[in-house]
Amino acid sequence: MTKLKTSITQHDHVQGNKDAPLTLVEYGDFECPHCGRAHPIVKALQERFGDQLRFVYRHFPLAQIHPHAESAAEASEFAGAHKKFWEMHDLLFENQDQLGLPLYQELAGTLRLPVQRLREALETGEFTAKVRSDFSSGVRSGVNGTPTFFINGIRYDGPVNVISMAEALAYVLEQAA
């Protein structure tokens, strides 16, 4: 049984009820097609479990095989610094075949973020350390590729689809009750 080693803190991006009995953590990569496919699955799970589920996203860019994964992660952190992390997160996954500075700038414009500042942040690596720290916490926790999910701190090794994941979540919820 592989366990999440780094607990959820104020530095994490958390969506949903903070006191929810279920926590789903995803280590993801914006350029990974499997993560792209998992994106609507997570949305469906959030809808199904409502207030019983909080969702946490952490970065695990596989930069050697995905040349835009790191910059996309940093762009989402930039948006996060302006309280628009989740909006950017969704838009990046929805446009993952076009990742690159032109897309980040366009999305920043859509979200009314300072486009010039975004460019500077990427050039100076303002958010590199934050992304690295997510990556390291993932390595320590047994993240083995992307996406890797943890349900209440235990790595989920089952198939990534709504039915299997909903079953696993329901099971954990029942155990917790």
Partner 1 sequence: MPILGRGIEAPDFNLHVTPDQTLSLSELRGRPVVLAFYPADWSPVCGDQMALYNEILPEFQNHQAEILGISVDGVWCHAAFARQNKLHFPLLSDFEPKGEVARKYGAYREKEGVTERALFVIDEEGKIVWSYCSPIAVNPGADGILEALEELSAKKGKRDDQVKDVDNAA
* Contacting residues toward partner 1, per CB under 8 A: 2, 5, 29, 32-35, 60, 62-66, 135, 139-146, 157
Residue with Cβ nearer partner 1 (36 or 80): 36
Nearest approach in angstroms of CB 159 to partner 1 is 10
20 residue type, one letter: A
| Tally of CB atoms within 10 A around 84 | 19
Residue with Cβ nearer partner 1 (110 or 144): 144
Running DSSP on this structure, what letter comes out for residue 142? T
Residue with Cβ nearer partner 1 (129 or 139): 139
Nearest approach in angstroms of CB 146 to partner 1 is 5
Nearest approach in angstroms of CB 63 to partner 1 is 7
Residue with Cβ nearer partner 1 (65 or 163): 65
Contact 75, 118 (CB under 8 A): yes
Question: Which residues in the chain belong to E strands, given as ranges?
Answer: 13-16, 22-28, 53-59, 148-151, 154-156
Q: How many degrees, rounded to 5, is the angle at CA 105 between CA 101 and CA 111?
A: 145
Nearest approach in angstroms of CB 141 to partner 1 is 6
